[in-house]
Amino acid sequence: MRISDLAQAAGTTVRAVRHYHRLGLMPEPPRTPNGYRDYELADLVRLLRIRWLAQSGVPLGSVATVLGGHVTDSDDHDAESDLTADLESLLEAADTQIRTLQVKREALAAILERHRAGDRLSPLPAPIVDAFDELIDGEDDPHTRTLFVRERDSWEMLALTGQASPEYLDALRTLLDDPEQRHAMVAVYRRFGALAGQDPTAAADEITAVIEGMTALLDDIPIMVEVLGSWAAEAATALESNTEVLAEFLPDPAQQAVAIGFVRRVAAQSGPPQDGVQA
């Protein structure tokens, strides 16, 4: 058969067959008197095997070894060992791709489900999104509502940047699901919001009380302190030398004092105090 017939029978192109010839994967067949390649059934079977291996992910450079048959000398032993390693690596890569696609599929399914339900789309788990929505929608004080929106957005930022571990999100969900802790959190946020515009020196006692209230929220969730610990230690050290970054996100001086004090407390609870950081 001609090369065009061979390619059609194998479901490929003439160009691909010629490429396999150049790589040495397909032997040159005898030619007809007028110079055309004359392929036989064995050539078609070999071409089909090459395509099967290539579509399975075997590199073309390893196809010849796979089709080579039995091992006959030390060089072939080395080649077969290399092929085994290549195939194991390809299989591992395929497993990784499957896991990645499964995660993507689950994420897309969750997004679709929330979209169909008319819910707001978010990278956070649905129970956390629902809890924040309830807090925001149910809050009458505009300052506290703004704080809840900012808190929700901060958590979404952590989730989107991959900094919110599953353990961290579980801890947050635990905090939001518990009615007493949730009530305490709302109360602390209201006091935090009420500090806006106050002089930090005059409001020193209230600042301390709010810091203690925020810290108390973590007492029943050890994993939260554990997860926040390393971050808090670094943040506390950074804030000692650069408060401008904090000011960009939290411009009010009294509320800044609360944030700095809270970070210091968490850092102190999670381990030895850092240099220059006092609880």
In the prediction, which pLDDT does 42 show? 93
User: Are residues 129 and 122 in contact, defined by beta-carbon separation less than 8 angstroms?
Assistant: yes
274: confidence class by pLDDT, cuts 50, 70, 90: very low
Q: Which of 87-91, 100-104, 135-139 has the highest mean pLDDT?
A: 100-104
User: Are residues 274 and 237 in contact, defined by beta-carbon separation less than 8 angstroms?
Assistant: yes
When the pLDDT of each residue in the chain is averaged and rounded to a whole number, the result is 83
> What does the H/E/C string look like for 103-126?
HHHHHHHHHHHHHHCCCCCCCCCH
Residue 69, pLDDT > 70, answer no
Q: How far apart are CA 184 and CA 181, in angstroms?
A: 5
End-to-end CA distance of the chain: 85
Amino acid of residue 208? T
Both tokens of 218, joined, read 């973590």
Higher pLDDT: 142 or 68? It is 142
In the prediction, which pLDDT does 38 show? 94
Q: pLDDT tens digit string along 195-227?
A: 988 999 999 999 999 999 988 887 767 767 676
How much of the chain, in percent, has pLDDT values that exceed 70? 87
CA quadruple 241, 212, 214, 270: dihedral, nearest 10:
60
Residue 30, pLDDT > 90, answer yes
- Residue 199 neighbours by CB under 8 Å, 6+ apart: 253, 254
Choice among 160-164, 186-190, 268-272 with the minimum mean pLDDT:
268-272
In the prediction, which pLDDT does 71 show? 42
DSSP designation for 198: S
Q: Rounded to the nearest 5°, which phi and psi values hold at 37?
A: -65, 140
In the prediction, which pLDDT does 243 show? 67
User: Are residues 227 and 171 in contact, defined by beta-carbon separation less than 8 angstroms?
Assistant: yes
Residue 75, pLDDT > 60, answer no
Q: pLDDT tens digit string along 117-174?
A: 888 888 888 788 888 888 888 888 887 888 888 888 888 887 888 777 787 788 788 8
